[in-house]
Amino acid sequence: MSKVVERGARLSARALVGLLGEWNGDGHAYVALAERLRLLIRDGRVPAGTRLPSEREIAAALRRSRTTVVAAYQALRETGHLVSVRGSGSVATLPHAEAASQHAVDFAHALSPPVEGLDELVASMGKDFLAALDGPEVDLLGNPGLRTAVAQRFTERGLPTAPDQILITLGAQHAIALVAHTLLHRGDHALVESPTYPYAYEALRRAGARLTVTPVSAEGWDIDHLIDLLGRLRPALAYLMPDFHNPTGASMLPEDRVRVLTAARRAGTTLLVDETTAELTIDRPWDDGPFARHGHRMTGAGSTVLTVGSLSKTVWGGLRLGWVRAERSIIQRLVQARPAGDLGNPQMEQMVGVRVMQALPDLLNRRSAQLRAHRDALCRHVRDRLPTWQVPMVQGGLSLWVGLDRPVSSALALLCHTRGLAISAGPRFTVDGSHERFLRLPFTAPLPDLERGITVLADCWNEIQSSPHRVPADQHLPSVL
Ligand SMILES: Cc1ncc(COP(=O)(O)O)c(C=O)c1O
């Protein structure tokens, strides 16, 4: 069971010890403690605004002297990562300058450039954009043409869908957060994969969910564990990514999808299926279509499947176009709840979205070719420079979930940050701070950056190997997408 860390919430000493993991190095303990805490604050696992345990509490929980913790907290205050607030104790903060920190190479974000051909498509809009001015000022549901096109794509992929089952959103993240806030009640159980896409579990947590995890690796899911958990816990919601899972790249086998869906129906669990990465195939020899198509064939009452998707990874993240596919009654609930968070979709972007959907098969082919070249280059560089790392073969998606032969992912990420490489440590993708033996390597950066990034990684890895407890002094950790 995960610990809930909410903005403004108080973090217990026990929860913090869990998040810290193996933090100690061979230098001063207070320096190592401050650095690991800084990592947690910077990568968002301890959000700015969180009230930290008192020095006395954490010293007791860590079985360390109070002097060590006092010195660590003082070091964090000096770098602007902690402030003392009257009545609240020590509160995590982010120094102003960090929000804009730049790295020479970015492996922290799995963001692809606009797909080849998007520029021509946008240029061809010309005066057509003026029609957007006839659109509504507040558009909570989405452009009818775009909803029809998205519904048609689902239908073509094997899941009959009507336009009124589609809600257009500001990307998939918005869709996940809207679903979480609309359907979950505080204290509801929600099941998430571990590792997983961090902003999804953060959205569920903010909606008040109690998170429980089921494991996924580059080889796939422990389906028996997942099914057993659904049966025992009967969670209100399970968030799953069955195709080209972020970060592992795994895809769930079609026969397992049926088993999971059957178990979810029995448990009354709503499945929130994230298909943001589902159409990023490179060379997977099969395509099972939308996950929800299996549910479509099942009759009788049971759970619902909500599918979220997006053009962010297939086409371009800057469009901020995503969707939810659900039963009509759920779409209506989402639309009703929406204005508390945002007042609807932009008209011009949706017009581009309609054209994009018309050209989608061609654009997907181009994205696939680009991903193939980048995946192959990254695998080659890792095998050349880091031959002891376990590199899984992925057939699509955006990243490799590589296995390190030592649990030093956080220390490695920290050292890389001092050398100009932004990268997220394995535990950033988990709710419980586990997976120190893993690192996510996105293959979305430009080809020369992939090589430069791996060179930095290899140098830092060698340094850590020769000085096993080396933990660097200064880091800048960005967000992760
Ligand atoms: C699995 C997954 N879902 C959702 C999102 C958010 O996508 P969007 O940019 O459409 O909000 C991301 C972005 O990284 C992602 O990796």
State whether the beta carbon of 244 lies less than 6 angstroms from ligand 1: no
Please tell me whether residues 222 and 167 are part of one structural domain: yes
Residue nearest to atom 14 of ligand 1 (CA): 481
Secondary structure of the chain in HEC code, one letter for each residue: CCCCCCCCCECCHHHHHHHHCCCCCCCCHHHHHHHHHHHHHHCCCCCCCCECCCHHHHHHHHCCCHHHHHHHHHHHHHCCCEEEECCCEEEECCCHHHHHCCCCEECCCCCCCCCCCHHHHHHCCHHHHHHHHHCCCCECCCCHHHHHHHHHHHHHCCCCCCHHHEEEECCHHHHHHHHHHHHCCCCCEEEEEECCCHHHHHHHHHCCCEEEEEEEECCEECHHHHHHHHHHHCCCEEEECCCCCCCCCCCCCHHHHHHHHHHHHHHCCEEEEECCCCCCECCCCCCCCCCCHHHHHCCCCCCCEEEEEECCCCCCHHHCCEEEECCHHHHHHHHHHHHHCCCECCHHHHHHHHHHHHCHHHHHHHHHHHHHHHHHHHHHHHHHHCCCCECCCCCECCEEEEECCCCCHHHHHHHHHHCCEECCEHHHHCCCCCCCCEEEEECCCCHHHHHHHHHHHHHHHHHHHHCCCCCCCCCCCCCCC
The domain that contains 68 carries what CATH number? Answer: 1.10.10.10
Please tell me whether residues 95 and 107 are part of one structural domain: no
Residue nearest to atom 12 of ligand 1 (CA): 481
Please tell me whether residues 90 and 108 are part of one structural domain: no
State whether the beta carbon of 397 lies less than 6 angstroms from ligand 1: no
Please tell me whether residues 337 and 453 are part of one structural domain: no
State the total domains in the chain. 3
The domain that contains 397 carries what CATH number? Answer: 3.90.1150.10
Residue 68 in any domain: the answer is yes
- Backbone φ and ψ of 91, nearest 5°: -120, 130
Please tell me whether residues 211 and 331 are part of one structural domain: yes
Q: Residue 233 is encoded by which pair of tokens?
A: 């816990």
**CA 411, 450, 454, 384 torsion: positive or negative?**
positive
Confidence at residue 1, expressed as pLDDT on a 0 to 100 scale: 38
Residue 331 in any domain: the answer is yes
CB half-sphere exposure, 368, CA atoms < 13 A? 16
| Distance, CA of 183 to CA of 180 (rounded, Å) | 6
Domain boundary residue, one of 338, 361, 384: 361
Q: Residue 115 is encoded by which pair of tokens?
A: 């797909």
Please tell me whether residues 356 and 374 are part of one structural domain: no
Domain boundary residue, one of 361, 389, 421: 361
State whether the beta carbon of 43 lies less than 6 angstroms from ligand 1: no
Confidence at residue 41, expressed as pLDDT on a 0 to 100 scale: 85
Residue 198 in any domain: the answer is yes
Burial of 416 (0-12, 13-18, 19+ CB in 10 A): buried
Confidence at residue 400, expressed as pLDDT on a 0 to 100 scale: 98
Residue 217 CA to ligand 1 center (angstroms) comes to 19
Domain that holds residue 60: 13-99
Please tell me whether residues 86 and 178 are part of one structural domain: no
Confidence at residue 49, expressed as pLDDT on a 0 to 100 scale: 84
- Backbone φ and ψ of 220, nearest 5°: 125, -160
| Distance, CA of 479 to CA of 459 (rounded, Å) | 23
State whether the beta carbon of 275 lies less than 6 angstroms from ligand 1: no
Residue 294 in any domain: the answer is yes
Domain boundary residue, one of 99, 131, 146: 99
Residue 472 CA to ligand 1 center (angstroms) comes to 31
Residue 7 in any domain: the answer is no
Residue 390 in any domain: the answer is yes
Residue 112 CA to ligand 1 center (angstroms) comes to 12
Among 169, 246, 444, which residue has the most ligand 1 atoms within 8 Å of its CB, making it the best to mutate? 246
Residue nearest to atom 2 of ligand 1 (CA): 276
Residue 6 in any domain: the answer is no
| Distance, CA of 343 to CA of 409 (rounded, Å) | 40
Please tell me whether residues 188 and 133 are part of one structural domain: yes
Residue 124 in any domain: the answer is yes
Please tell me whether residues 222 and 331 are part of one structural domain: yes
458 in Cβ contact with 385 (< 8 Å): yes
Atom of ligand 1 at shortest range from CA of 311: 10
Residue pLDDT tens, the chain, 481 long:
344 444 568 888 988 888 888 787 767 889 889 888 988 888 778 888 889 999 999 999 999 999 999 999 988 988 888 988 777 788 888 876 554 456 789 999 999 999 999 999 999 999 999 999 999 999 999 999 999 999 999 999 999 999 999 999 999 999 999 999 999 999 999 999 999 999 999 999 999 999 999 999 999 999 999 999 999 999 999 999 999 999 999 999 999 999 999 999 999 999 999 999 999 999 999 999 999 999 876 655 556 899 999 999 999 999 999 999 999 999 999 999 999 999 999 999 999 999 999 999 999 999 999 999 999 999 999 999 999 999 999 999 999 999 998 999 999 998 998 899 999 999 999 998 889 999 999 999 999 999 999 999 999 999 998 875 544 433 334 455 5
pTM of the model: 0.85
Among 173, 202, 204, 371, which residue has the most ligand 1 atoms within 8 Å of its CB, making it the best to mutate? 173
Residue 17 CA to ligand 1 center (angstroms) comes to 29
Please tell me whether residues 47 and 26 are part of one structural domain: yes
Residue 277 CA to ligand 1 center (angstroms) comes to 8
Atom of ligand 1 at shortest range from CA of 277: 1
Confidence at residue 89, expressed as pLDDT on a 0 to 100 scale: 86
Please tell me whether residues 378 and 302 are part of one structural domain: no
- Backbone φ and ψ of 438, nearest 5°: -130, 155
Residue 54 CA to ligand 1 center (angstroms) comes to 36
Confidence at residue 369, expressed as pLDDT on a 0 to 100 scale: 98
Atom of ligand 1 at shortest range from CA of 174: 11
The domain that contains 332 carries what CATH number? Answer: 3.40.640.10
State whether the beta carbon of 444 lies less than 6 angstroms from ligand 1: no
Confidence at residue 102, expressed as pLDDT on a 0 to 100 scale: 65
Q: Residue 95 is encoded by which pair of tokens?
A: 């120094």
| Distance, CA of 41 to CA of 72 (rounded, Å) | 14
Please tell me whether residues 352 and 430 are part of one structural domain: no
